[in-house]
Structure 1
Amino acid sequence: MKRYIREFWLFGLRQAYACIFGGFLLGVMIVTNYWYPLESIHRYDFIFLAAIAFQVFLLATKLETFRESIVIVVFHVVATVMEIFKTSDAIGSWSYPEEYFFGIGNVPLFTGFMYSAVGSYIARVWRIFEFEYSHYPSKLLTVVLVVFIYVNFFTHHYIWDFRWALLAGTALMFYRTNIYFKVVEKHRSMPLLLGWLLVALFIWFAENIATFANIWIYPNQSHEWQMVSLAKLSSWYLLMLLSFVLVSLINNVKIRSETAGAPSTESRSPA
């Protein structure tokens, strides 16, 4: 029993370590919502500069690898493009109620870091827990899937929303896939689809905290804060899948196979 308790404790600590960038960002959002004494710089701009400074700190102390920092940059660009569209006057899916200097259109630039935090977490947790997979589909198929997912985030405002078809396609593509992760010595496993759901649920909780801290608001929160609908889980699930596949493009996907009763691995190098 003690061994399992120790392993669970170490699992939690390493998960927290993997979330270091996202945790820092969320912490800054919460603190500045209740106490922000600076008059010379907008709160949103302070969050933006704080995120950059923390990234420099992580790289300087080697708490983050250069490859993981690339993930941050890529996610920032991909997310900012989507944010510009989603917050445009014609769409108005959500809004940022406070003033800012560093921004494009209706989007303060710190917002890209919120999505980058998800990519950073996936890249770090992949390395920390030495991920391996069974029955992982080809990278080409996964890239095609997430391209459709990303496009649907835009097109569903004009044509039919394909998210449920995309979720069904995801289930069909990954229903046999297990993820193996090492906490101490032995690899544990779970269905990859379940792992993604747990991460999406965690992001949904963080989203509720962020909207409560007035980072962004949905139209139904403009007069009074209320909990974000559970229906948003589907969006976070798909966005998290997009993040996962992008990370897989710069990582070796270790495929676990059974040979003579003993596990072995082969690597699919980044495309």
Structure 2
Amino acid sequence: MQLKAVVQLLHFGYHQAMSCIFPVAIFGTLALTSVIEIPYVPRYDVILLILLGVQYLMYRSGLETLDEIKVICVFHLIGLALELYKVWMGSWSYPNSGYTKLLGVPLYSGFMYASVASFMCQIWRRLRMDMTGWPGLVPSALLGGAIYFNFFTHHFIPDFRWWLTALVFIVFRKTIIIYRVREATYRMPLALAFVIVGFFIWTAENIATFLGAWKYPDQHDAWRLVSFSKISSWFLLVIISVIIVAQLKHVKAGRAASKEE
């Protein structure tokens, strides 16, 4: 029994690691460009070129499908729009120069959000995930939209993140993730998965800021730990990614079923 559990854990870890190829590529690129400079090419531009190359190689090698690339592009645009607004509001900054900066935001920054979508798409496919108790398009889309716009509106009206967090647990209280490792099937409450992924992204954010991907106002003089309150922000952002990915999977499954009929 113990040997079987170890084998299952190793298979689970393998699929998790393979699903993190793009996020790991981002951190590797940040680490590499923090110690190696290319003459006459700003760091932000080097990062963008490398990440575009990684995405191309992942697609050509079959690690990512065309549908997954489309989802990643959507998240890149969603993330870039949020970055433009947040930098404009002074929430954080990109102090280095670059040719591919738009209103103070390097274009590679959207990949930080797209990496979450890449992970979600990869792990969904690799673990043959499914869900029960999905609340449906309207409730999930309205909640996802409210969460996204709260990132913008909390600068000039009250922050509703804790109300939205409570609403998440209510709306998704019956939603269970079903995932498969080899022949075994496992289940987990979706809300718990949100918390776990949000924590790991916060950990990754600390690594990214340490490597100079961006800087919060209190990190300009010296690096310091990112506020624990950011976990709630990533928790809510993960929800948006899951809602979009899950809804697209449901639509695709519905089209496949209708074709079979």
- Whether TM-score is above 0.5 comes out as yes
* Partner SS for 2:239: helix
Q: In structure 1, what is the equivalent of residue 16 of structure 2? A: 15
Residue number in structure 2 paired with 1:244: 242
Q: What residue is the counterpart of 2:27 in the other structure?
A: 26
Preserved contact between residue 36 and residue 43 of structure 1 (Cα < 8 Å)? no
Deviation per CA, 1:86-111, whole angstroms, max 9, x where unpaired?
Answer: 001xx100001211111210100000
Name the counterpart of 1:67. 67
Report the equivalent of 1:44. 44
State how far apart, in whole Å, the 1-side matches of 2:37 and 2:163 are.
48
Does structure 2 conserve the Cα–Cα contact (< 8 Å) formed by 1:156 and 1:162? yes
Deviation track 1:55-114 (CA, whole Å, cap 9, x = no partner) reads: 1111111111000000111011111111111001xx100001211111210100000001
Contact residue 132 and residue 179 of structure 1 kept, 8 A: yes
Structure with more strand by fraction: 1
Identity %: 38
State the alpha-carbon separation in 1 of the partners of residues 40 and 244 from structure 2.
Answer: 38
For residues 31 and 54 of structure 2, what CA distance do their matches in structure 1 show? 16
Counterpart pick for 2:123 among 120, 125, 133: 125
Secondary structure at the counterpart of residue 110 of structure 2: helix
User: In structure 2, what is the equivalent of residue 140 of structure 1?
Assistant: 138
Equivalent-residue separation in structure 1 for 2:251 and 2:95 (angstroms): 41
List per-residue Cα deviations over 1:144-199 (Å, max 9, x = no partner).
10101111110000001011111011000112221111011121111111111111
Aligned residues: 255
Would you say the 8 A contact 1:82–1:154 is kept in 2?
yes
Asked whether the 8 Å contact 1:133–1:253 carries over to 2, the reply is no
| Separation (CA, whole Å) in 2 of partners of 1:146 and 1:102 | 30
Conservation of the 8 A alpha-carbon contact between 2:172 and 2:191: yes
Residues 269/231 of structure 1: CA separation in 2 closer, same or farther (3 Å cut): farther
Q: In structure 2, what is the Cα distance between the partners aligned to 1:10 and 1:137?
A: 31
Shift, 1:54, TM fit: 0.7
Instruction: Output the CA distance in 2 between the equivalents of 1:109 and 1:184.
Output: 39
Question: For residues 184 and 196 of structure 1, what CA distance do their matches in structure 2 show?
Answer: 24
Distance 1:126 1:217 in 2: 32
Amino acid at match of 2:171: M
1:226 aligns to what?
224
The superposition leaves residues 223-250 of structure 1 with CA deviations (integer Å, 9 ceiling, x where unpaired) of: 1110001110010000111111111232
Using structure 2 for the length normalisation, give the TM-score: 0.94
* Ranges of 4+ aligned residues in structure 1 off by more than 6 Å: none
Q: Write the mapping of 1:162-241 to structure 2, written as runs, cut at 5 A.
A: 162-241=160-239
CA deviation after TM superposition for structure 1 residue 253, in Å: 7.7
Amino acid at match of 1:156: H
Provide the secondary structure at the position in 2 that maps to 1:196.
helix
Partners of 2:37 and 2:43 within 8 A in 1: no
